[in-house]
Structure 1
């Protein structure tokens, strides 16, 4: 997946998520997606095409080992964040799923009254779900 497509897939998914908002708190070089004021996606708007997402620490290690285009979070806590870089190991469904999971991780840390969705069920496909 090239940089243009990577950014497009990640941002399109982020914009679909309930309560998600795009801001530019770090200037015009960064698009930052937040839910209820908490960051779940950072997009560096330069020629690198980097997309940074929150990840469970165990998942972050496994993802970095399984996909050559997933590296420790760029300018973030390397334990809790991953960065997706353009490359052949990333596919549309994986990128979309990782954005959703990052969002869920942030939502589950919000007070229940502020959660736009139930993080225990949102975006998780059940085995008996045909869709």
Structure 2
């Protein structure tokens, strides 16, 4: 998946907003003001990457399964993974990772907000 495709997918999730809170080149995706993804552009010839919240055991499993998945960059490494967008992680898996991150953040929101978002998702 390209960074643009990932961005479009993330923005389709209910109540998702994006901004460059950390500066140019790093798009931050939030649900109800809480960060669930950070998409970083390819810089200095590097590879674009996305940082996603993840259940700790699943985070370890994904790191073992895909060389492009590692501990979160500049975040809590137990609860976040950074995925290099080098085409080695299949697109369906990346979409699942984004949805999982979104759902992890939504789970920490007040019940009324969770219910509203659940209804919006259908």
TM-score under structure 2 length normalisation: 0.87
Aligned mates of 1:39, 1:31 — CA distance in 2: 10
CA–CA separation in structure 1 for the residues paired with 2:105 and 2:10: 13
2:17 aligns with 21
1:13: how far off? Answer: 1.3
Aligned length: 117
Structure 2 residue aligned with 1:9: 5
Contact residue 9 and residue 92 of structure 1 kept, 8 A = no
Which residue is 1:75 aligned to?
74
Gaps of 5+ in 2: none
- In structure 2, distance between residues paired with 1:111 and 1:88: 36
Aligned to 2:41: 45
Q: Which runs of 5+ in 1 are unaligned?
A: 124-131
TM-score (norm 1): 0.81
1:31-110 pair list within 5 angstroms: 31-47=27-43, 48-110=47-109
Deviation at 1:59, TM superposition (A): 0.3
Match of 1:113? 112
Q: Secondary structure at the match of 2:59?
A: helix
- Indicate if the aligned counterparts of 1:9 and 1:96 stay in contact, CA closer than 8 A: no
